[in-house]
Structure 1
């Protein structure tokens, strides 16, 4: 078949999802399911994929999504508990006392604190929207800002999993990739910070918060360059943690220099009987503590050994998904929620209300996260067959892989201009899967093949791809549904994508320009 026709077929599910969200204003969960069905049909009919392989790929995607989907499920439980017990209101009162200006609230919460949260494995798209709403932001901004702010450090989120997973899978130096990614961050982190101000309050918001946004973005970016250089390769997962903390400290120092308060004394009177701040934040204090502890390699290996091989789920042929249950952040979200519940929940009636609202809020974003991963895996496994107990391509059949068709078409179309548009693959991959880590794994082979054909240096091109995958968090439907669910605004997904897409595309093109300059030097 004609390559252009195959390319159109390969991207057709994504076009369907985009049109359904942005123009038809359908829910992200519905469009994810329709996109998955279309992907399976196209893979089977046009890309020589058996139905059994397509369904196995979907199951592998669902299992692989647990680090995201179950995190969504259980963080929504935690936030719902904090919301109905008044903990969110108490935290919001504190935020108002230390950051009266909207731009300060955006930078402290979504750039500084958000970067720290996501770096240790927590999810700001679940934790922050209720606070943003309580601070007076519109539902669109309350959803869009934490999504765009999910990855100001792009590949250093989730203890640098987007870097370490492909490095382990394909045998290259994780620190080398981290150093390349960090070079993009002073510009991209700053661009994300400025983009947040524009999304919330337009150009007037950018004007008011310009200096604070520049300071936050540049601090975050240059901190990442510093820490990835001085930390050993085994500690690359802590780059984002330290960079986020440094940014929070710098933002507080800026407030102190401006003569503004940074202590916990509320600027407005609290209602009688309000809980102390430590109690309101207790679930998050526990979660942060657990996340730091389980990031220690010795403890990681010890936790994994408790369940061992039981965690490995066979899928098809030689494909096995290792769930690593006790090493996953979502397990510790459950633990921190259960430990803190007796301190926050006042009676059985309140507990029943929490569970009822949790189920109502959580099912849709959890399902959507799973389905988007399923789409990504069907595309990645398309064209493969089981040969001698191994899932692999038949000789020459890799040309009928949906991802390979997309990458090859772009390489042939743009030739030496490929570096300029190659980051769009990262944006594309994270958009459909909701995860930069998945995108980095999915498109490794495409980037490797394209750079070989065009005689380009692989590592900078792959780093640009990864960085753009982080930028895509702002338009990743799975994350948007998650954020919308915790403030009961499911259905707003298309509006958020329309608002954030110009920022994400502009930053991705900027990454392409930076890559071209790097390759030319």
Structure 2
């Protein structure tokens, strides 16, 4: 038995079908923003609503819908949940061994100003992790670091989610852009160039916007020189690398340049006043006068994150990535050995009742597989970093295992949340609800579609939690619609990716990841309310940029 997606299933009308397809999304918004449900309850109940709409409105067989949810749940646990568990575990190891106190002092030695700490860690360091690993690692690690420095957990999570906007399109070694070449046939380099002529505007703006959110416009102006150094160095490097090198390295290069240039700049420039949060006590507002640490002590304290960076960077190299998942076909002896192990630890069973049973809007049969790449998962790279860290910081196996158990216990509800919301995303996609919404937006016409084109990407990332998935979901639809209305398809596909980055901060799985990292499990509704307005403003700005590039700035399209 097969299931053919029907996009006018309600009253033979695309508009009515889209309204019904919105029900699970609107319910999720209501559950978090208005009802303020705990994340795992909101996630599970949204999944049930999505299943009901898929079965009763979109006529998807119940067995298929349930198996689609199971496919999403498995993906939510590995790789996404696995990244969160290992990231938080690594952070807890540094805290338990006292190394984080040294990390904190080393950052304070650069600057005690909360605004500048946010630029260094949330913006630059977070972007580096996005470029190297993607998924939840950037927000999980950088938010935990900020909380350790003394940031309010909600603020730390929110700031890191917003800062993560700048690098998402080129995240995880350029995968979102490389992936969309397949369904669209547009060379990845051309899409990279176009995204590199959109996102730098946002990247230059984000640091300024972050500080306004944190401290207000007046206090943002006080550190404007540092903001300009951080944002412009990132944006210029992002443009140059995306246009002249390719989609793989813009995040890593931009982040490293931004981090280095800002750190050097702060050696010569200091703000007139040190900004701290109003909630910080008078005692904490005094200049920090803790004992000075040697260079070797600081290096040792930071080494877990340096090790993490090196291993994740290696995991992201394309040939090694192939070997880790058992798909390497070269002749290198070491990689062949890794490939054998990767093959043993990669499981890709078919999803019962679902594999090759769905026919999508292009008339193509959709494969459905449980993809369990144990060795190739970024979470496994982080786990290896925790093992090496155990020896570096001198922790015994007993305490290492106890800490791992504590981490698992703390994250049981967040992982349940992630599994349920990714399950919801898969049901929405496999039933045809996502494409119905996309096709409706595509009907906005030749004048307005260029403005609404990024909103498709925004919607896709909100639903799936991934710019890669959003590009695969709507990339070809963007291309077809653009060609039909006389818009350059390269611009439309790039707008899908650029608009998608603004949806990352409100994606249910991103919210769950951020809350898990800072110990706010159950407070997902508060974080969602914090980020939603910023997400809408930023996607509106991308819409304006795309509209202008389709009209008066058409010379910017490659």
Per the normalisation by structure 1, the TM-score is 0.88
- Secondary structure of the residue aligned to 2:201 is helix
**Distance (whole Å) between structure 2 residues aligned to residue 268 and residue 477 of structure 1:** 41
CA contact (8 A) 1:199 1:500 kept: no
> Structure 1 residue 495: deviation in Å?
2.2
Residue 470 (structure 1) shift: 1.4
Q: Which residue of 2 aligns with 1:464?
A: 495
Deviation string, structure 1 residues 104-152 (Cα, Å, up to 9, x no partner): 1111111111111111106122112233223332222111111122231
User: Match for 2:289 among 260, 264, 268?
Assistant: 268
Task: Give yes or no for contact 1:439–1:469 (8 Å, CA) kept in 2.
Answer: yes
| 1:297 matches 2:325 | no
Contact 1:25/1:491 (<8 A) preserved: no
Say if 2:301 is the partner of 1:280: yes
Runs of 4+ in structure 1 off by over 4 angstroms are: 271-275
1:506 matches 2:520: no
Tell me the residue number matched to 1:334: 383
| 1:243 corresponds to 2:254 | yes
C-alpha spacing 1:472/1:206, structure 2 compared with 1 (3 Å): farther
Contact 2:153–2:519, Cα closer than 8 Å, also in 1? no
CA contact (8 A) 1:72 1:365 kept: no
**For residues 40 and 513 of structure 1, do their structure 2 counterparts lie closer, same or farther at Cα, with a shift above 3 Å needed?**
same
- Structure 2 contact 87–140 (Cα < 8 Å) conserved: yes
**8 Å CA contact retained: 1:216, 1:251:** yes
Residue of structure 2 equivalent to 1:107: 119
Cα 1:271/1:206, change in 2 over 3 Å: closer
Aligned residues: 495
Quick check: 1:156–1:237 contact (8 Å CA) kept in 2? yes
Do 1:121 and 1:159's aligned partners in 2 also have CA atoms closer than 8 Å?
Answer: yes
RMSD: 2.6
Determine the C-alpha separation between the residues in 1 that align with 2:355 and 2:510. Answer: 32
When residues 424 and 345 of structure 1 are mapped into structure 2, their CA distance, relative to the original with a 3 A threshold, is: farther
1:112-511 alignment, distance < 5 Å: 112-121=124-133, 123-231=137-245, 233=246, 236-258=247-269, 268-270=289-291, 276-303=297-324, 304=326, 305-306=339-340, 307-308=342-343, 310-315=346-351, 316-318=354-356, 319=367, 320-344=369-393, 346-347=395-396, 350-351=399-400, 353-382=402-431, 401-413=432-444, 416-511=447-542
Task: State which drifts further: 473-482 or 245-254.
Answer: 473-482
Gaps of 5+ in 2: 1-10, 272-286, 327-338, 357-366
Say if 2:16 is the partner of 1:5. yes
Rounded to whole Å, the distance in 2 between the matches of 1:144 and 1:469 is 18
CA distance in 2, matches of 1:7, 1:297: 39
SS in 2 for 1:317: coil
Question: Matched residue of 2:46: which SS?
Answer: helix
C-alpha distance after superposition, 1:136-174 (max 9, x if no partner): 322221111111222312311111121122224554311
Q: Measure, in 1, the Cα distance between the counterparts of 2:159 and 2:525.
A: 15
Superimposed CA distance per residue, residues 368-410 of structure 1 (whole angstroms, 9 cap, x where no aligned partner): 222222222212111xxxxxxxxxxxxxxxxxx2122212222
Instruction: Report which stretch shifted further, 433-442 or 58-67.
Output: 58-67
Q: Measure the CA separation in 2 of the matches of 1:334 and 1:356.
A: 14
Deviation at 1:220, TM superposition (A): 1.3
CA separation of 1:321/1:449 partners in 2, compared to 1, >3 Å: closer, same or farther? farther
**Alpha-carbon separation, structure 2, partners of 1:203 and 1:259:** 18
Shift in CA distance, 210/491, structure 1 to aligned 2, threshold 3 Å: farther
Q: CA offsets, 1:488-513, max 9 Å, x none?
A: 22233222222222222111111111
Displacement of 1:484? 2.0
Q: Does 1:51 align with 2:71?
A: no
**Equivalent residue, structure 2, for 1:21:** 32
Q: What is the rounded CA distance, in whole Å, between the counterparts of 1:247 and 1:179 in structure 2? A: 20
Deviation at 1:414, TM superposition (A): 5.2
Q: Deviations over 1:293-341 (max 9, x none)?
A: 2333333333333233853222233323544443332111111111212
SS of residue paired to 1:276: helix
Contact 1:166 / 1:441 at 8 angstroms: preserved in 2? yes
Query: Are the equivalent residues in 1 in contact too, given 2:435–2:473 (CA < 8 A)?
Result: no
> Structure 1's 463 and 135: CA in aligned 2 closer, same or farther, altered over 3 A?
same
On the 8 A contact 2:241/2:250 being kept in 1, the answer is yes
Cα contact 1:434–1:476 (8 A) shared by 2: yes
Contact (CA 8 Å) 1:167, 1:173: kept in 2 or not? yes
Instruction: Provide the residue aligned with 1:392 in structure 2.
Output: none
* TM-score after normalising by structure 2: 0.82
Change (3 A) 1:209 1:499: farther
Residue 100 of structure 2 corresponds to residue 88 of structure 1 = yes
Contact preservation (8 Å) 2:133, 2:313: no
